[in-house]
Amino acid sequence: MPNMPAPVGDTRSASDSRSFDETKEAATMHKRHGWGNRLMVWRRRLWGLWLLGWLLTLGPAWTEPLPSKPDADGQNPAAKTSVAQEIAELRQVQQRVQAVVRKVTPAVVAVLINPGQGSGVVVTADGYVLTAGHVSGKPGRDVVIVFPEGKRVKGKTLGVNPQMDSGLIKLEGNGPWPHVEMGDVTQLRPGDWVVAIGHPGGYRPGRSPVVRVGRVLRIVQQLVQTDCTLVGGDSGGPLFDLEGRVVGIHSRIGGDISQNIHVPVNTYRETWEALTEGTIIGLAYLGVRGDESAEQAKILEVDPESPAAKAGLQPNDVILSCDGKKITDYRSLRSLLWQKRPGDTVRLEVLRGGERIELKVRLGSRQ
């Protein structure tokens, strides 16, 4: 608080030793000097105006209650209440994480593909395993899947999407296999708690899949970023929400090991047919770029000499359907094209200047 002038007036205390006569004499002196009284009045007025202005600068804050006094142990009760609430919330998170781990661990597996290792998660009773594309590699490879209790099962790699780093494996033999539910990454929000499980450093006999807990940092169309600590060997392992649903697959480790990238689980669902058929997704080439933020599949650019250009597609065209399947936005167009192979011919319904036209395009190859 700034220094304030002392108020003028009767400042006598109980210990004041002046007599009544002395006080009376002082009053008489003031009467003799009227200018002195007027000065005192003006000083009081100035003091009042200064005090009022100072309170107004504080605004509503000066009417708020003062902080609670420290209690017997020297701590502020309000601060203790806040800490207690935070501890209670963390305990709730801890309990939910423990429940998730118990529920999903039987389906988290190690993926052994000579000479490499990674992680994965079983998502169907008949033995489909999600993993990272750089773990599974090209279709048709022999793999060994190791369950948490040590059971080993043979499998085969199926489709892969190199651009998204998504891959699929199929277990051999009879099920049903322990499996978990696939979630929806669009339900995640930055700050949400998530659980990362995998085999850091590679599979180790007798060690259960390792659990790490963190929060979602950001979500975009082609990745989920969290602060769950990951290292080599975790690639392909699952990221769970607190309902025990897979929302991502570990893909790339950031410059800081606590800032890592996961493949959104939605891309597996969107390309499921192509993955199960053993397709290398993303090789088919149309040759256009669209508006990712628009609510329709509007074409912004057409590559010269591309299949799209040769078929007559133009900038500002809006693609309404592909092979009879409705296209709602550019992302849905891309997802559908991911399931095609080089050399396939697709039929596009296009809106151009208010007129609907149909074009046939023979897709090229990115290789």
What residues act catalytically?
A: 134, 165, 235
Total residues found in the chain within this entry: 367
Q: What angle do the packed helices 20-32 and 34-58 form, to 10 degrees?
A: 100
SS3 9: coil
- 233 token code pair: 């060997």
DSSP characters over 149-197: TS-EEEEEEEEEETTTTEEEEEE-S--PPP---B--GGG--TT-EEEEE
Residue 232 gets the label, from left (phi > 0), alpha (psi -120 to 50) or beta, of beta
Q: How far apart, in whole angstroms, are the C-alpha atoms of residue 215 and residue 154?
A: 34
Burial (CB count <10 Å: 0-12, 13-18, 19+), residue 296: middle
Residue that is written with structure tokens 């002196």 in the block: 29
Q: Contact 280/336 with Cβ under 8 angstroms?
A: no
Pairing verdict, β 364-365 and 284-285: antiparallel
Compute how many other C-beta atoms are within 10 angstroms of the C-beta atom of residue 259. Answer: 17
SS3 338: helix
Q: Quick one: DSSP state of residue 67?
A: P
CA distances for 66 relative to 70, 85, 111, angstroms: 12, 22, 61
Q: What are phi and psi of 170, to 5 degrees?
A: -120, 125
